[in-house]
């Protein structure tokens, strides 16, 4: 296997996660050859989503480009729809410019299709500060969400246990410290286990070199298969697609030419450009080889999200007035994202979680210990109408006098 083939995934992780895992992406591109030969019809569209078909890709490439610019080495994994869902959920309780900035990038919560499929599922968890109450209009949007209100010290264990359960143990934790002065932590979870429409033969897998750079080879186990795939070549590189067995989902792989660095390609690629590239594929015979992979990635998304235009939500001017009753003003404190991707001869496992923590902008007083007040020395009192501040009687009591009778 030559260097060009053995490095097939060197530049493709971004494309795998953006289009392979995001529900709805497959329904916006032609059916793969393998799937067409099996069903003779295009895969059914995923129902329920009305916005533009490039929403996941537009958002994903914008964020991924920022992350790649900050990291010269290592894999970068994101789940665009999972992040968009978390942002759109928080935007349900926002107004004004705060709402507008989020919705421009994420769309409305009820416009994002998160209905489960045979191979994937989504979930939502909300933790609120003890004593706080979610506004009914906000809560009404999330009837299927799990809602907890435990002590802040217990919040990481509660949230992490939910994420662990909903991802089948793929992601062990998302919160690493207690959410002090945090009014609400909203966490979206995504879990995917997809089998290839045609599995790779493990007997055909081979050890070979993977080149993160031309000068840095490393050992890898390559799966390979000959056959007919949807495929295209452009001036920038090669693109191919592998279908999964269920839900009309596909993995789409892009390999930049050896002369084009993956970071340079990302800087020049938008969601619309990606969609155009995907649509160039057509049936073609060939050999597809890609390495087995297991990768876990975690990141704080506050800076990338602000860089792509979601700024007011992180500032003192944030307008999250529709989430909690009688709460101090809130702003986004941090956005944590964690993703896992595992690829082998049988298929793909993937999971992601996004936690958005909103901080109270004024000091939140911790719940005090029960008090004891014993009026055993001179004191003052009034009798009156509290709502209207009427005082009908007042007294300075220096001695109980005849009170024992």
Residues 280-298: pLDDT tens digits? 999 999 999 999 989 999 9
Contact between 230 and 35 under an 8 Å Cβ cutoff? The reply is no
3-state SS class at 330: strand
Q: Comparing C-alpha atoms, which of 89, 91, 82 is closest to residue 338?
A: 82
Query: Longest Cα pair distance anywhere in the chain, in angstroms?
Result: 105
Residue 146 is predicted with a pLDDT of 93
- Rounded CA-CA distance 296/133 in Å is 35
Residue 263 is predicted with a pLDDT of 87
Residue 164 token pair: 């662990």
Number of H helices and number of E strands within the chain?
A: 11, 13
- Rounded CA-CA distance 16/343 in Å is 11
CB atoms closer than 10 angstroms to residue 319: 18
For 210, the enclosing helix (H) or strand (E) is strand 206-211
Q: Comparing C-alpha atoms, which of 279, 289, 264 is closest to residue 234?
A: 279
- Rounded CA-CA distance 148/150 in Å is 6
Contact between 381 and 238 under an 8 Å Cβ cutoff? The reply is no
- Rounded CA-CA distance 397/381 in Å is 8
Which residues, 6 or more positions from 401, have their beta carbon under 8 angstroms from its beta carbon?
A: none
Residue 85 is predicted with a pLDDT of 95
Q: Comparing C-alpha atoms, which of 119, 168, 105, 163 is closest to residue 21?
A: 119
Residue carrying the six token digits 């101090």: 328
Residue 159 token pair: 């949230």
Q: Which residues pair with 81 in a beta bridge?
A: none
Contact between 34 and 197 under an 8 Å Cβ cutoff? The reply is yes
- Rounded CA-CA distance 59/84 in Å is 8
- Rounded CA-CA distance 402/405 in Å is 6
247 DSSP assignment: T
Q: Which CATH number fits domain 1-373: 3.40.605.10, 3.30.497.10, 2.40.50.140, 3.40.50.300?
A: 3.30.497.10
What residues does each domain of the chain span?
1-373
pLDDT below 50 — which residues of the chain?
1-51, 365, 391
Q: Report the residue count for the chain.
A: 405
Tell me the C-alpha to C-alpha distance, in Å, between residue 8 and each of 37, 76, 309, 393, 401.
25, 16, 34, 86, 94
Residue 327 is predicted with a pLDDT of 80
Contact between 223 and 293 under an 8 Å Cβ cutoff? The reply is no
């Amino acid at each position: 296997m030559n260097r060009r083939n053995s490095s097939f995934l060197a530049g493709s992780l971004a494309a795998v996660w953006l289009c392979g895992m995001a529900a709805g992406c497959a329904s916006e591109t032609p059916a793969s050859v393998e799937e067409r030969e099996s069903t003779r019809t295009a895969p059914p569209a995923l129902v329920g989503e009305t916005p533009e078909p490039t929403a996941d890709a537009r958002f994903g490439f914008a964020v991924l480009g920022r992350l790649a610019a900050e990291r010269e080495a290592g894999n970068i994994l994101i789940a665009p729809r999972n992040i968009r869902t978390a942002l759109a959920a928080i935007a349900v309780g926002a107004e004004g410019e705060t709402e507008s900035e989020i919705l421009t990038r994420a769309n409305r919560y009820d416009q994002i299709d998160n209905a489960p499929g045979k191979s994937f599922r989504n979930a939502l968890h909300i933790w609120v500060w003890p004593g706080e109450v979610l506004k009914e209009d906000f809560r009404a949007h999330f009837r299927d969400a799990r809602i907890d209100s435990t002590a802040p010290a217990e919040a990481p264990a509660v949230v992490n246990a939910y994420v662990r359960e909903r991802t089948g143990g793929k992601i062990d934790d998302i919160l690493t410290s207690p959410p002090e002065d945090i009014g609400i932590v909203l966490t979206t979870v995504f879990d995917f286990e997809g089998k290839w429409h045609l599995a790779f033969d493990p007997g055909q897998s081979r050890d070979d070199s993977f080149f993160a750079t031309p000068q840095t080879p490393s050992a890898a186990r390559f799966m390979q298969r000959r056959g007919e795939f949807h495929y295209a070549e452009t001036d920038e590189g090669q693109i191919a697609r592998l279908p999964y067995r269920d839900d009309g989902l596909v993995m789409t792989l892009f390999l930049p030419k050896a002369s084009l660095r993956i970071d340079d390609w990302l800087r020049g690629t938008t969601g619309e450009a990606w969609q155009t590239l995907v649509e160039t594929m057509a049936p073609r015979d060939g050999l597809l080889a890609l390495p087995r992979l297991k990768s876990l990635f975690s990141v704080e998304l506050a800076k990338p999200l602000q860089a792509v235009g979601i700024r007011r939500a992180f500032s003192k001017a944030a307008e999250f007035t529709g989430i909690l009753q009688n709460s101090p003003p809130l702003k986004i404190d941090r956005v944590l994202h964690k993703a896992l991707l595992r690829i082998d001869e049988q298929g793909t496992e993937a999971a992601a979680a996004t936690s958005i923590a909103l901080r109270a902008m004024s000091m939140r007083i911790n719940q005090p210990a029960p008090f004891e007040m014993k009026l055993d020395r001179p004191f003052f009192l009034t009798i009156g109408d509290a709502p209207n501040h009427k005082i009908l009687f007042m007294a300075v009591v220096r001695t109980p006098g005849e009170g024992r009778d």
